[in-house]
Structure 1
Amino acid sequence: MRKIEIDDEVFAYLQRHSEPLVDTPNDVLRRELFGEGRAASEHETRRPGALMFIIEAELVSPGDKLRHHQPRRRQTHDAVITADGWVELPDGRAFPQPSPALKAQTGSSINGWGQYTHVPSGRRLQELREEAAKHQAKSD
């Protein structure tokens, strides 16, 4: 096996076209170059993301905006909740968890649950997650 170096833009492409914890970068390249493996379709079904149970609790809706503001850096980072509970960035990259999505936007490891604000309600994702868990516990 040979090793190659790739730039950040190519790596981001590989991430966008991979199933986390399933595909290796080599799997994505083989699929893209040779058509091997699972279908490479933008419409393929993926596993539900971490926000799915909050959608099911009807505390957020697909298409709702998430926002993280960094006042000292004078930067605001927006994202959108997808129908399958993922966090989608404006550049099209999608993440099953909020923290990796926020890290992709800021370049730093930040707790996405604690730092993303659900724009329609003005509440942090962490607060919504805790409320959804309480609803789920009551219905069990």
Structure 2
Amino acid sequence: MTPRIEIDDEVFQRLQDQAAAFVDTPNDVLRRVLGLSAPTETNEPVAARQPGNLAKLVNAGLVKPGDRLTHVRKRSGTTYHAIVTTDGWTQLPDGRSFRGPSPALKECVGSQIDGNRNWTHDASGKTLRQLLDLTA
């Protein structure tokens, strides 16, 4: 059972003011304000989870753990970032991790989008697709 707390209207309004519309729950805002990382997408401990889809790039030395990925939406100019984890997962700034780059990018932009073609690896300036093509 998850513990429940009651908050007054003023606190709830402040949480709403700091939330990203249609993305954040009050819990997400509280975790961010308190400096807590978000739970990962799975319930498995990081050490026990399967390698992510970018593990091939990490193992080939084309991407290093901690390398940043960037996506810029052309129409709005909004920029999103993620990092590559040691086990090849894609981690968003709020701590949520995704096995593949596409689900991570979908979480950012709100619609299905090809992460391999749309995330750019900052260190090389290449898309993930371009890097994956080098391993073929």
TM over 0.5: yes
Task: Report the number of matched residues.
Answer: 106
Describe how 1:47-62 pairs up with structure 2 within 5 A: 47-62=50-65
Q: Displacement, 1:115?
A: 0.3
Secondary structure at 1:128 match in 2: helix
TM-score (norm 1): 0.67
1:78-104 CA distances to partner (integer Å, 9 max, x unpaired)? Answer: 000000000000011000000000000
CA RMSD for the aligned pairs? 2.6
Q: Displacement, 1:74?
A: 1.9
TM-score (norm 2): 0.69
Describe how 1:89-108 pairs up with structure 2 within 5 A: 89-108=92-111
1:85-129 CA distances to partner (integer Å, 9 max, x unpaired)? Answer: 000000110000000000000101110000000000000000101
2:117 to 109, 114, 117: 114
- Return the letter of the residue paired with 1:113: N
Cα distance 1:78–1:17, how it changes in 2: closer, same or farther (>3 A)? closer
Matched, 1:18 2:24: no
Describe how 1:57-72 pairs up with structure 2 within 5 A: 57-72=60-75
Q: Displacement, 1:61?
A: 0.4
2:133 to 130, 134, 138: 130
- Return the letter of the residue paired with 1:57: A
Return the alpha-carbon distance in structure 1 between the equivalents of residues 126 and 91 of structure 2: 18
Cα distance 1:63–1:15, how it changes in 2: closer, same or farther (>3 A)? closer
